[in-house]
Structure 1
């Protein structure tokens, strides 16, 4: 941090120069052997590398762009060294031999075979991360930049893409519009500073910063507490199997599960079998907990067959669409939001089994590995998309995937996330695609505020707007930026795959242009975040809804100590997809009965205030029995079109 750096400079100013030089000499002496120790450690692994390297070089076909040609040439040289004895250093390209490797790999005389091999493999790893080197046949290590719209197709689609995204092909038109918007926002914030009690402008370490006071929680009026208690008293109590079957009776979501190879295959009571498998996966209890040998639809063989042939990513997504679309038609749900606002956050699961699809993070998983289940939820509480990622990869890599790839009737335009999901590249891509990216920022004082006009006078905020935005760079790469936006909009390439590649250093001029474009959107967000309490409240409310949904998810996923025990990514996606589907079914059931409870209270003459209804939540689960008893009846729990009787608050508990 800057204040610590200033403190350190002052301390060092008190130390005599000769003592500083002696300390520097000591550090240099200590770090020099560390480099040698690192190389010696690598060389000790050469025999291990030789066990798989020949097969790797023989089997995998690497390709490279212009920046990866030196690594590709070195790999081809390694192929030529197989089954050869001593070779001369002059026979192989030595472009990659730099730094510490030069002490081991001489440019003349015999080649140090082990050192050269490990040097090339070290550069291979870095080149694969940047996709300077790529494997066309690999779903993970291909170059997503090659999947952008081709020149011919982009020429044909340019006008349509610009019209759909409301972007002008002329960069000067877009930049002039953004410059006017940024100027207006700066002046509006500056004019409101005297009356904005939540914000103060202060000077810290020679820089102007906006200090934002934390917003307090909204007080709960007595009418809200009474309404919340009255609704809770009316909610029927039931078991999770009955809830799933009842929701299927409303939506037919279990019918979205089709056979893997025969789409029209149907058996008796398939919906019961599907709901049982979904419950077993979502509650993490396994099929044993739902097997009923006396019932054909719930025998071990039937459930295992349904699990293998019906439960997969596309059928789960199709069933989830039915739930989300049905929930949006419930009258009370529209009081919570119109589906325009969404949020993304990760739910962490430890994975105690051996798998390459989990990652380590001591903060979340301790000594074990784990995965993150990214949830995208709307302001109507429904989860409309989800992604399973290994470890704790940054949410920002996948934030756009959920907005673009979801297929529900919802059309969210604003995405809310935590601080970890924010980056200038993400801001830039969201702005290009017409979305509002609104992360909840924890480090506001360290944020930089962009400026497009050097001559603009923003009064008290002049010193704050200290980060110049390179509009010339944006204009020079505008057509390429539009092509990226068009490729994402048409789903030609995934945003997460593209961000993983272009975000690696050193960054190209195109990436820097995207970042400068993102600084405009980031600055607009920062100014609104400081100036508009409604904007801040929207972000905070949606983040609280996301956390409450996570608590419900933890309560449902209660078996096996809440650990995910899948070895392969497909199994993880299926099980966590089932969890998301069951959570949505619970929320839908709660929302519909909450709506009926409110109608009942109104009919009884109870005052139901609109502002109180907006603060009710369908994420409560105290009335649900989530564990220990899973009985699925073959007949529907209720006749079609009928509902359960609301509870009588005065009736004693059974």
Structure 2
């Protein structure tokens, strides 16, 4: 947007600066309105004003109704979000094009609009009110569409999980019921395999004294039909057919799906199902596609078709269609036009033209050749060197990493590090010397040194800061970090709840929290003691789970960790004990999808070059992407001796060169696939490096993709190569293993601190929406 000329004269006084800032803000408001003036027709303005009026149908303003998210993935919640989507489309929100405004301006208008009360929005003059409302409307169209698809996904997945548990219970009962039949089989085999019993006496022994007719008849009565290939999973899900029918027709009628050639049959099936729902027809057409149905479920359709049971066929075909649609959304084979979270995967990548301009710069930044032959040759040399180091260790045969008599890899755990007695005594002495510091005093002192409280700026760009603002901010920060909540904090500190709530609403948000953390990180990096802990180039990430109370679409049930439900935080910390990123994630989601997010989105000056995780942060996709981005992924993998290792040459060639290590390399890499898609792999990494896409979105889709996705398959092959190189080096160097373990322990120490700090309500998170956590 245009910036007014403020002149280049003498230095201005405080009054002049304030006046110029006010003039610039007024000019920005006029410019915003002028660029959107074509949207502000009489009808559109009336509709925007209507958003601020209490609607009897929803018993609140439509704007508040749109902003109130669901708290559970139920049929009622899905239909409520579908109703919002239909309302927005009736206003034309899905077709609004606000690209005439910079993204930062749109973000600012939406931030202000969400925090203003209905009365405050209504009091704003039209030049300010209508751009704010229009931005909120356009953003709501995307957000609600994403919410509908996410709830659809979550509700189907929850029912599938319930069906899987039901199937396992049925299998367990079947196993118990079959114990008598198994005992009978054992007795029969004993008789049949006894060569001392003549053939003409076997029948008499079975029907007579050794087993007897009653036992045989009982076994026949207990006979159970043979299980289908999926052990009854889809049959168990059929019990939820009526539940799913409460909302799936509305979703299919409202949301439009797209996809590539891989999803052709599936999309055709979705259209047929949409037509069946619209007409009320029950019979699935004979030519309805079934090519997308997995082999393990085809038997259900074949059996229903042969028996002429059209109702059963409709159930199973519809369930297969819905599950395949859900899976297609996960992999990216199916996308939703207009969505942000489920958009076309091609939109996440740099266009070929832009990539051609940025390829050389990207390869220079990450140190990768543009020629696939050279890249593979370099990687092959690395693999040979790493295998050579491991060969020396295995040839010795007496170290912590060795081969047993059967040729299996044995990896002994690292011994505990010895802490000198002098260090223990010094630690105790220093602990005694440390004074007790109330957390408020600590935060005040920290602000004097870092100025982090100045990073909490007003969402509406308000410049005036009252003398009490820092006091209020400290109270809000303490209430959030200790899980105390604003109500109890108001009772404890004497500051009214309204003041704390207003401060939290307008000053405490993700971008200001990140800015405050950056100020602290910058100060910490300049302390003389900081380099003692590490270079700052190594970091690690790990998840920590917290229980939740109440319904929330973010919380999930995990009986291993929670009595009811909970969520996870995923935190990144450097070897200098600097926390540079934390994200709230769904507890059942793979942590590996989020490893790269904070590293690539790192706004600090921390030069991360190597990153450690535990097993949960590891996938072949991550191994490949880390290397393509010029980074080293260094995980501590559980059961490392059991993972598949790869070779580039023939089995005989590798075993001849590496007699001890060669037999461990059980699979051969598809280097031709890597070479064929090498430029696409670089473009994928470049899209992440230059901020064109979010890593967690791409990693999740690529990890879920099957063999049909050639790019994902090539990336996994490349990741298998990088994982083999890493595993060989990791196993050959105990010092390296200890370094990774030491770094992961720093993350565990941070988890212990958070558990102690989040003490209120027994550490149970009570926020019902992700943005409030």
Correspondence for 1:414 among 571, 596, 610: 610
**Cross-structure match for 2:666:** 466
**Cross-structure match for 1:227:** 426
**Cross-structure match for 1:152:** 353
Contact kept in structure 2, 1:343 and 1:542, CA below 8 Å: yes
Deviation at 1:43, TM superposition (A): 5.1
Contact kept in structure 1, 2:401 and 2:731, CA below 8 Å: no
Deviation at 1:446, TM superposition (A): 0.2
Correspondence for 1:264 among 438, 455, 463: 463
**Cross-structure match for 2:271:** 76
Contact kept in structure 1, 2:393 and 2:401, CA below 8 Å: no
**Cross-structure match for 2:489:** 290
Contact kept in structure 1, 2:688 and 2:694, CA below 8 Å: yes
Deviation at 1:80, TM superposition (A): 2.6
Contact kept in structure 2, 1:101 and 1:119, CA below 8 Å: no
- Does residue 446 of the first structure (1) align with residue 642 of the second (2)? yes
- Does residue 499 of the first structure (1) align with residue 699 of the second (2)? yes
More helix by share: 2
Deviation at 1:257, TM superposition (A): 0.9
Contact kept in structure 2, 1:257 and 1:319, CA below 8 Å: yes
Single out whichever of 419-428 and 71-80 deviates more from structure 2.
71-80
- Does residue 171 of the first structure (1) align with residue 368 of the second (2)? no
Q: Structure 1 unaligned runs (5+)?
A: 1-11, 573-654
Q: TM-score, normalised by structure 2?
A: 0.66
Correspondence for 2:289 among 94, 108, 118: 94
- Does residue 246 of the first structure (1) align with residue 445 of the second (2)? yes
- Does residue 323 of the first structure (1) align with residue 520 of the second (2)? yes
Distance of aligned partners of 1:408 and 1:285 in 2 relative to their CA distance in 1, 3 Å threshold:
same
Q: TM-score, normalised by structure 1?
A: 0.78
Cα deviation digits, residues 367-401 of structure 1 (max 9, x gap) = x1111101100001110011111114222111111
- Does residue 342 of the first structure (1) align with residue 543 of the second (2)? no
Distance of aligned partners of 1:410 and 1:31 in 2 relative to their CA distance in 1, 3 Å threshold:
same
**Cross-structure match for 2:685:** 485
Larger of the two Rg values belongs to structure: 2
**Cross-structure match for 1:601:** none
**Cross-structure match for 1:305:** 502
Q: Secondary structure at the match of 2:634?
A: strand
Deviation at 1:469, TM superposition (A): 2.1
Contact kept in structure 1, 2:404 and 2:410, CA below 8 Å: no
Distance 1:204 1:138 in 2: 57
Distance 2:426 2:364 in 1: 47
**Cross-structure match for 1:314:** 511
**Cross-structure match for 1:580:** none
Deviation at 1:15, TM superposition (A): 9.8
Distance 2:509 2:445 in 1: 22
Distance of aligned partners of 1:185 and 1:15 in 2 relative to their CA distance in 1, 3 Å threshold:
farther
Cα deviation digits, residues 605-633 of structure 1 (max 9, x gap) = xxxxxxxxxxxxxxxxxxxxxxxxxxxxx
Q: CA RMSD in A?
A: 3.2
**Cross-structure match for 2:727:** 526
**Cross-structure match for 2:261:** 66
Contact kept in structure 2, 1:36 and 1:100, CA below 8 Å: no
Contact kept in structure 2, 1:129 and 1:501, CA below 8 Å: yes
Single out whichever of 47-56 and 377-386 deviates more from structure 2.
47-56
- Report which structure shows greater RCO (CA 8 Å, sep ≥6): 1
Contact kept in structure 1, 2:400 and 2:413, CA below 8 Å: no
Deviation at 1:141, TM superposition (A): 2.7
**1:198-213 map, 5 Å:** 198-203=399-404, 205=406, 208-213=407-412
Q: Secondary structure at the match of 1:362?
A: coil
Distance 1:565 1:495 in 2: 29
Correspondence for 1:381 among 577, 580, 584: 577
**Cross-structure match for 2:475:** 276
Deviation at 1:198, TM superposition (A): 3.3
Contact kept in structure 2, 1:397 and 1:499, CA below 8 Å: yes
Distance of aligned partners of 1:278 and 1:193 in 2 relative to their CA distance in 1, 3 Å threshold:
same
Distance 1:463 1:37 in 2: 38
Q: Structure 2 unaligned runs (5+)?
A: 1-184, 194-215
Distance 1:266 1:400 in 2: 37
